Amino acid sequence: MRNKLLYLVLPFFMLSCNEWLNVEPEDEISEEKLFSTGTGFRHALNGVYFTMESRNLYGKHLTWGIVDALGQVYDYKKAPGVNEMQYGAAKYAWDYYEFKPVLSSIWTEAYNVVANCNNIIQQIEYADPEIFAWKENEKAMIWGEALALRAFIQFDMLRLFAPAPSTNPGDRKFIPYVNTYPSYISNPKTVNECLELIAKDLIDAKQLLWKYDSAGSFSRSDNFELAGSGEKIFLIRRGFHLNYWAATALLARVYLYAQKEDEALEQAKEVMNFASQKGAFSLADRFYYGDRKCYSDVIFGLHVIDLLDYNKDIMSMENENNVKYLAVLEADKNYFGEDLEISKGDNGTIMTSNDYRFKYWIEDMNNEHYSYRLTKYDASTSGATAGVMEVSDHIVPFIRMSEVYYIAAEILCKRGAEGLTKAKSYLSYIKGRRGLKKTDMTLQKIENAQPDEFMDLLINDMRREWIGEGQTYFIYKRLNKNIPNANGGSVLASENVFVVPLPDVETNL
């Protein structure tokens, strides 16, 4: 776990007077000292990851917070105190008084992180490899991660604040792509321009990261559980860093979003081949060991120190008079319906499913089949070892191996009978690894599904997999499809729903 005492990232601040983005260093002397040693570069990179943990970024709102609210994931009847999600994001009420400041904070904090990445990139290019403990390999690792993180964060800003390529946004300009430090004026770019720059950064990052990650096994223990401290902990546990395979999977995600399917499939196959050869990123049920997140198949996740506290903000089960929780909206209908079984019990009907995601990530409160509490971010289950508890209680998954299979399946299902057969095998594999049996309804449906029917089954499984992980909204945005919500209804696909307006701090020119 990264130590808060190592958080030596330099402060930056944002201004907006006749400029898009204004970032200035406050302490040039500290900056010079920071980048004079390999340890200083490590601290700066740790600071980037630490900043990403904030409630407004990936500790909550860019994962299981407002981004999932935008995707109509939640029911708020039992979750007081989430007005920015319930009345803002879920209703696309961009000017709602408790939502608008959150959007501004997301923008400001995200580009603050980008500025830190750019500073590292600028400084490390000319750094002497001899100042690093692992010489050229460590220099390449830090440089590659900073490039990939710059792309990762700005890709998410693009997915929020600009239209998807599927809607043909044309030459309209939306957000900047900031790749210099300091950046006093950063002009907005078109969606395609941003995507090209994101892809280039990831390609360059892969070349650098390969120097360090090519020798790694990327087993679950190597990724997340190896013991160590100080220098050792920085160099191992690659699952908590944007490693080579995470950059490759992310590039597949970016290419799919950009509608470059050949390129996306190439990147996905690279990860799939590695996983097959090395047994890496295996989809496994480890709930028995206390692993609530099933993190063995996570290619990249963030260690969020305060994650349980963020969860407690909207989760209290202390007594009958103080019950509050965030629920998944109509989990029976919108997610698991066809794979649910209802039987009679002593206290009424019981709803069960072979799907681990139904068993472990939601709870049918009071067995009423009405309100399904999100449990994914609860503390690890009883009996967890210290190592498993440390990971499961603090990890926020960003990229799973299942997504790589989804990307390949979506592309292949449209490429004739052979492609569709392969796509079906990938989706069937994921479902099987998540506990479903051949007798379960959705697995039976896969067998005879035509491409359009297969896509419906694929999207449904993505929804199950990404409960509480901030990806559901982007499924529908990328495909320009209506978003299912309550009572069989849906939110109609439109730019008003799929393009978050730029914060006032950046449009008050």
Q: What is the pLDDT of residue 7?
A: 34
The distance from CA 84 to its chain's CA centroid, rounded to whole angstroms, is 20
Q: What is the pLDDT of residue 320?
A: 67
CATH number corresponding to 4-306+395-499: 1.25.40.390
Domain ranges for the chain: 4-306+395-499
Mean pLDDT of 335-339: 95
Q: Going by C-beta distance under 8 Å and a sequence separation of 6 or more, which residues neighbour residue 223? A: 237, 238, 239, 240, 298
Who has greater pLDDT, 391 or 185? 391
CA atoms within 13 A on the CB side of 136: 3
Q: What is the pLDDT of residue 433?
A: 97
Q: Environment class of residue 91 by beta-carbon count within 10 Å: exposed (0-12), middle (13-18) or buried (19+)?
A: middle
Nearest to 154 by CA among 225, 79, 217, 205: 205
Q: What is the pLDDT of residue 14?
A: 33
Residue with token string 């599904």: 449
The distance from CA 490 to its chain's CA centroid, rounded to whole angstroms, is 24
- Tens digits of residue pLDDT in 107-128: 999 999 999 999 999 999 999 9
| pLDDT of residue 23 exceeding 50 | no
Q: What is the pLDDT of residue 17?
A: 28
Residue 57: Cβ within 10 Å count: 23
Q: Going by C-beta distance under 8 Å and a sequence separation of 6 or more, which residues neighbour residue 173? A: 187, 188, 189, 190
Q: What is the pLDDT of residue 229?
A: 58
pTM of structure: 0.93
Residue with token string 């990724």: 223
- Tens digits of residue pLDDT in 378-433: 998 877 888 899 999 999 999 999 999 999 999 999 999 999 999 999 999 999 99
Question: d(Cα 117, Cα 174) in Å, to the nearest integer?
Answer: 21
Kindly state the tokens that stand for 484.
Answer: 């299912």
- Mean pLDDT, the chain, rounded, equals 90
Q: What is the pLDDT of residue 338?
A: 93
The two beta strands, 327-328 and 74-75, are antiparallel
Mean pLDDT of 137-161: 98
Confidence of residue 20 (pLDDT cuts 50, 70, 90): very low
